[in-house]
């Protein structure tokens, strides 16, 4: 659990500042579940430059509650939470100073979105809140007011969680929970999980991730793990302290995140999923007669695969399907080793490309239609699908025929402006597994929309 906050102060000498406004949003990693926003009477003068910056003046604060009057609410809303702020060192110091004046030792674990942003979104000219969120297409209203800055930090932190493929943030959160409560029973874990689509992470008591999975219904899938009788299921039931999750809104994002995060985190119970599983690839080449041929090769030998397969049976079944759908020659698909024409020619299912009877240009047109179906539709495109909330969409960026990463957005300009989109994207690895996942999904025509650029 996180308490994402922003504090406005009077300015002045170090450790002599007073709070003029505070906003705290309690965030469970997915949505805001509680909030506290208030002006505060600092009982001291506000520096003139601060008044110009924030618009908060002494007159506005005359009837505002003093800090001791809101202290209890601050303690309650931040209880068992990690404090998150943009430049957390400053906000946390100010809070501790105010509580120290009351004789109370206020201690919380902290996370700084400046430091996280530098790690997860490197190369920015500025990491000030205003400039950073603007470059990421995150709306910011009421700049230099606590509620506006804190809400922008919530949206930034949500983006950082999705970019954190090594799951450092989630691991720290689980470790913090260990200090406050005894490991819950499995039933308690299940009750707190959603029935939504997403990726889930099983943690040991020290926060270590021991299993990563994806499901269209996270709660139901975890229930299956916890009621299973296999050796792996029993180990989960014994070792799991907590289950965290990320909703993805659609199955494609879940598949892509699961694929990458298993490889990056190497969970002990995901052994069978750590390696690349698509060992074969379809390759297209033009023969001496001008016909486009298709053949199956070892994936590592193919520079630009059309698509990939887990085994030879899957590969050959796909070629037979292509031959049937697009009236292609078995001989040119390497499904027949006949010296003359293929068998399909004798039953009028091949137009004679195997004996150069059909014009190669007409034949190649049908091959290219097949290639379009079994490869990316465009080299440069954004695949738009459902997001985690009603007003949100997901984006998958393909550039120069290569998968670049994923993002979520609320406003159209965030995805139509390609530079803003690139800033928001969580970079991910491009490999045969990813290509297979995306192409298979697109063949089922599940995406909401595709934008080309």
Q: Highest mean pLDDT range out of 76-90, 136-150, 409-423?
A: 76-90
Contact 403, 423 (CB under 8 A): no
Output the CATH code of domain 168-273.
3.40.1440.10
pLDDT given at position 184? 56
DSSP string across 373-392? HTS-S-SSEEEEEE-SSTT-
Instruction: Tell me the CA distances in angstroms from 344 to 235, 286, 318, 362, 398, one per residue in order.
Output: 53, 21, 17, 18, 38
- Packing angle of the helix pair 113-120, 146-163 (nearest 10 deg): 40
Cα separation, 133 vs 144, in Å, equals 14
pLDDT given at position 277? 66
Domain range 2-163, CATH class: alpha beta
Query: Residue 76: pLDDT band by 50, 70, 90 thresholds?
Result: very high
Contact 194, 247 (CB under 8 A): yes
DSSP state of 215: E
Instruction: Tell me the CA distances in angstroms from 20 to 7, 177, 369, one per residue in order.
Output: 8, 31, 65
Q: Which among 315, 318, 300 has a CA at the least distance from the CA of 431?
A: 300
Handedness of CA 250, 251, 256, 262 (dihedral sign): positive
Q: Is the pLDDT of residue 270 over 90?
A: no
No. of H helices and E strands in the chain?
17, 16
More confident residue, 74 or 233: 74
Q: Is the pLDDT of residue 28 over 80?
A: yes
Mean pLDDT of 17-45: 92
- Packing angle of the helix pair 146-163, 168-180 (nearest 10 deg): 110
Q: Is the pLDDT of residue 170 over 90?
A: no
More confident residue, 18 or 310: 18
Mapped onto helix, strand or coil, the DSSP state of residue 278 is coil
pLDDT given at position 177? 58
pTM for this model (two decimals): 0.71
Cα separation, 27 vs 82, in Å, equals 10
Mean pLDDT of 228-253: 89
pLDDT given at position 2? 94
Q: Which residue intervals of 192-342 are DSSP H helices?
A: 218-227, 231-239, 251-265, 312-326
- Tell me the two tokens of residue 263: 């490889």
Query: Residue 206: pLDDT band by 50, 70, 90 thresholds?
Result: confident
Q: How is the beta sheet containing 280-286 ordered, strand by strand?
A: 292-298, 280-286, 308-309
Cα separation, 169 vs 113, in Å, equals 11
Cα-Cα end-to-end distance for the chain: 40
Mapped onto helix, strand or coil, the DSSP state of residue 403 is strand
List own/partner pairs for 308-316 with CB under 8 A and 24 or more apart.
Answer: 308/278, 308/280, 308/281, 308/282, 308/432, 308/433, 308/435, 308/436, 309/278, 309/279, 309/280, 309/281, 309/282, 309/436, 310/277, 310/278, 310/279, 310/280, 311/279, 311/280, 312/280, 314/280, 315/280, 315/282
More confident residue, 412 or 198: 198
Q: Is the pLDDT of residue 276 over 60?
A: no
Give the chain's mean pLDDT.
87
Look up tokens 């509580």; give the residue: 99
Mapped onto helix, strand or coil, the DSSP state of residue 76 is helix
Q: Is the pLDDT of residue 181 over 60?
A: no
Q: Is the pLDDT of residue 373 over 90?
A: no
What are the boundaries of each domain within the chain? 2-163, 168-273, 280-373, 381-452
Q: Is the pLDDT of residue 178 over 60?
A: no
Query: Residue 272: pLDDT band by 50, 70, 90 thresholds?
Result: low
């Amino acid at each position: 659990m996180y308490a994402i906050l922003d504090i406005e102060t009077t300015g002045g000498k170090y450790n002599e500042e007073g709070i003029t406004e505070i906003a705290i949003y309690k965030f469970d990693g997915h949505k805001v579940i509680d909030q506290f926003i208030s002006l505060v009477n600092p009982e001291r003068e506000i520096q003139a430059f601060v008044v110009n910056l924030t618009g908060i003046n002494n007159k506005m604060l005359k009837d505002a509650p003093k800090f001791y009057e809101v202290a209890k609410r601050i303690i309650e809303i931040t209880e068992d939470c990690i404090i998150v702020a943009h430049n957390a060192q400053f906000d946390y110091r100010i809070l501790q100073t105010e509580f120290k004046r009351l004789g109370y030792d206020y201690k919380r674990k902290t996370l700084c979105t400046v430091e996280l942003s530098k790690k997860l979104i490197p190369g920015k000219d500025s990491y000030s809140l205003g400039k950073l969120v603007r470059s990421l297409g995150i709306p910011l209203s009421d700049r230099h007011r606590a509620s506006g800055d804190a809400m922008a930090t919530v949206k930034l932190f949500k983006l950082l969680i999705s970019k954190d493929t090594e799951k450092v943030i989630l691991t720290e959160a689980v470790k913090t929970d260990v200090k406050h409560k005894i490991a819950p029973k499995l039933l308690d874990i299940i009750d707190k999980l959603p029935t939504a689509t997403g990726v889930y992470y099983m943690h040991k008591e020290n926060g270590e991730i021991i299993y990563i999975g994806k499901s269209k219904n996270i709660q139901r899938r975890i229930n299956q793990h916890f009621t299973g009788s296999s050796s792996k299921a029993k180990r989960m039931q014994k070792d799991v302290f907590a289950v965290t999750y990320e909703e993805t809104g659609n199955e494609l994002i879940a598949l892509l995140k699961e694929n990458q995060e298993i490889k990056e985190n190497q969970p002990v119970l995901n052994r069978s999923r750590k390696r690349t599983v698509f060992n074969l690839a379809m390759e297209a080449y033009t023969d001496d007669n001008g016909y486009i041929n298709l053949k199956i090769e070892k994936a590592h030998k193919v520079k630009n695969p059309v698509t990939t397969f887990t085994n030879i049976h899957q590969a050959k079944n796909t070629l037979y399907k292509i031959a049937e759908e697009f009236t292609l020659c078995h001989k040119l698909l390497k499904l027949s080793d006949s010296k003359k024409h293929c068998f399909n020619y004798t039953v009028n299912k091949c137009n004679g490309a195997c004996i150069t009877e059909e014009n190669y240009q007409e034949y190649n047109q049908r091959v290219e239609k097949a290639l379009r179906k079994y490869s990316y539709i465009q080299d440069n495109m954004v695949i738009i699908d459902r997001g985690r909330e009603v007003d949100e969409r997901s984006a998958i960026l393909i550039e120069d025929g290569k998968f670049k990463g994923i993002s979520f957005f609320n406003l159209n300009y965030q995805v139509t402006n390609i530079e803003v989109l690139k800033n928001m994207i969580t970079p991910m690895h491009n490999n045969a597994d990813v290509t297979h996942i995306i192409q298979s999904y697109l063949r089922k025509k599940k995406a909401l929309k595709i934008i080309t650029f």
